[in-house]
Structures are given as structure tokens and as C-alpha cells.
Amino acid sequence: MIRIVHLLDDFAMGGVTRALSLFEDDRIAAMAQSRVVTMGKGVVTAPRLDCDLIVIHVPPCWSRLPHLAALKVRNPQARIVQVEHSYTRGFEVEKITSPVRFGALLRTAARLVNEIIAVSEAQRGWLEDRGVPVAKLRTIHPWSGREELLAVPDLPMRPTRPLRLLAYGRLAPEKNFAALIEAMDRLAPGLAELTLFGSGPEEARLTALASKRANVRLLPATNDIAPRLRDCDAVVVPSRFEAFGLVATEARMAGRPILVADVDGLPEQVRGGGIVAPMQNADEVARAIQLLFEADLPALGRGARASVLPQHDGIIARWQAVIRRAASQTSAEDAFDSSRLAGA
């Protein structure tokens, strides 16, 4: 039985913490035992962990590199895997002032781990472009852990009423919800309604924007998302950057079409179940929403759910391969130690 330690620094990381429920799946639990530990920063806080596989869910930064190096030294028996939940090509464009220095960070951090798990093929390609060794790169999509969404009824034929749009997640600038709200002004009256829910640093601003529009409502965050997905016609994900976008996965699980921005890992989710379009500003978002009026939304919803059904098994299989590589490393080290003892 392989022992896994997951390192996090924020236990309210939304999709990241939900995704860890994957390790409770019987197929994973039969191979490995998992526990979660808080990741520090300083060299002295790097612990000696009694495990065979360390999975880091914290993005690398310059201040944390000494901690990562010390973690490697103090746990020579463990295979170390970095899951990159955050950094993307879009993130680099929006947030990074020195791409050269940022690339150096990514390459330096890669030398301190055995594998790097990208959460989308687009992210993996960008990491390769930044000089991260191809041999260390794998792609494993995250999982939402909300299988109850598979029981949401299929989308019925839309009656004569406004199109019901839904968007949700962390209310932060990168999610581009302000542009989505403003886009509702560009639509003819009575054509569409938007429900937005979540929490985050932009909550006050988005509340003010929503309060000025009769066709927009902002609701509190909730973990009970099935009723809200059931009552919508399509889910809009207008992010400025997004490694993968579990909101889009959850919409697909609920059989709802998705309208996603053409950035990073979001287009990979469409797979016959939605529309990809530029959505950097309110005008582009409004034009993208217009495409929904021309689409067969029930058919897209069925396609969305059909495309997501085999995804879970693929994610399990790829994590099983990661665990097997850790088991092989442990077995090789045990054999080496046994041969040394025999020689003595």
C-alpha cells in the first residue's frame, strides 16, 4: 500500500480540495492511503514525511524554492509530483511582467520534482514551451467530486421565455464576471437573464453592477449547485485565464451546454457540448451569448453529458499510473537496500 501526502497551503481552495475526493475512489483507495498536510515556506519547516509519494498542490514561487529543495533532501525515499493548478499561458499574459524570470522559476522548480501534472493539454503545451522537460510532464484533468450532478434531468426544449444563463465561482477579476454582467446590456430586452453566484474579492463591485440591471441577479455562494444548474439553459465561463475550469465540467455533468472563453484549458471541455468564443470584454461576451440563440441547446446538453461520462475513468487510470511509478521507485530502493545488506 502506497502512502501519499498531499501538500496544500489553502484548505479553502475550492476545486482543488474537492478534487482530492478522487483519492477516496475504491480503485485508488485499494492502492494508496492519502492524507493532507499544510505546506510551509522556510527551509526549517520542510518536514520528514513518512510516505512514498508527495503530491504538491501549491504553485511554485521563488520564496518557496528553498522549502521545496529541503523537502526533497529530507524525503529521499519519496517520489515528488507537482500538480499545476494555477499557472497558464493566459495567466502569464495577464499577470507576469517578466516572462524570462517566470520561465526560470518554472524550470528551476521542475528540477526539484519527479513529475509535473498539468490539468489541461493547453497548459502542458505552454509548460513545454517554457522549457519544462517533456519527460516530466503529464496531463491529468481534475475532477469535481460532485457525481450527484449526473442525476440532474436533461435540458427540456426551451419554451417562450428568456434564455436562463448561469455563471458561478470565485468572484475575482480573472473570472471576468463584470464583463459578463455588462454584456447583458447589449442584448435585446427580454432575451436573456443571468444568475451569478459565488464569493470573493469582487463581490461588492459585482453586487453593485447586478443591482442596476433587471436581468441580472447575484446570489450567495452555495455548495448545493444542482438546483441552480437544473434551472438554467446554459453555463457561461468568460474567464480571462483558466487552467481547466471545473465549473465547465460540472455543467457538463449536469447536462447543460457551456459557453466558454477561448483561453487556456477551457476549449478542451466543449467536445460537442457547447461553444467556444472570444470573451475578453463585454462586447465580445454579448456576441458569444448571441450564438446560444442559434444553437440546439438540448442537443448540446446531451452531448456535454455524454462527453464527460468517460472522463472520470480516464482520470482514475492516469492517477493509478502515477501511483504505480511511485511503487516501482519504492520497490527499486528496497531491492537496492537488500542487496547492500547482503553484500555486507
The predicted model gives 279-289 an average pLDDT of 97
Stretch 101-124: mean pLDDT, rounded?
97
Kindly state the cell numbers that stand for 82. 507537482
Domain match, 56 and 195 both: no
CB of 237 closer than 8 Å to CB of 265: no
Q: Which CATH number does the domain housing residue 174 bear?
A: 3.40.50.2000
Question: How confident is the model over 144-169, as a mean pLDDT?
Answer: 90
173 and 81 share one domain: no
Is residue 326 within 8 Å of 79, Cβ to Cβ?
A: yes
Same domain, 155 and 291: yes
CB 118 within 8 A of CB 139: yes
DSSP line for 37-50: EE---SGGG-----
Identify whether residues 284 and 317 lie together within a single domain: no
Give the mean model confidence (pLDDT) for residues 147-171.
91
Examine the pLDDT at 13 and tell me if it is beyond 70. no
User: In which domain, by residue range, is 12 found?
Assistant: 2-143+311-343
Question: Are 44 and 109 within one domain?
Answer: yes
- Please give the tally of structural domains in the chain: 2
Angle at 18 between CA 77 and CA 329, to 5 degrees: 15
Q: Do 280 and 249 lie in a common domain?
A: yes
- Helix (H) / strand (E) element for 116: namely strand 115-118
156 and 182 inside one domain: yes
Is 129 in the same domain as 186? no
156 shares its domain with 304: yes
Residue pointed to by grid coordinates 555486507 = 344
**Pair 289, 210 in one domain:** yes
Percent of the residues in the chain that have a pLDDT greater than 90, as a whole number: 81
The residue among 198, 200, 201, 238 whose CA lies nearest residue 218 is 198
- 0.95 cut: is pTM over it? no
Binned at pLDDT 50, 70 and 90, residue 14 comes out as low
**CB-neighbour burial class of residue 24 (10 A; exposed 0-12, middle 13-18, buried 19+):** exposed
pLDDT exceeds 90 at position 262: yes
Share of the chain above pLDDT 70, in %: 93
Matching residue, cell 442537443: 299
Q: In what order do the strands lie in the sheet containing 234-237?
A: 216-219, 192-199, 163-170, 234-237, 258-261, 274-277
For 219, the 3-state DSSP assignment is strand
164, 262: one domain: yes
**Residues 90, 46 share a domain:** yes
What is the distance between the alpha carbons of residues 107 and 87, in angstroms, rounded to a whole number? 13
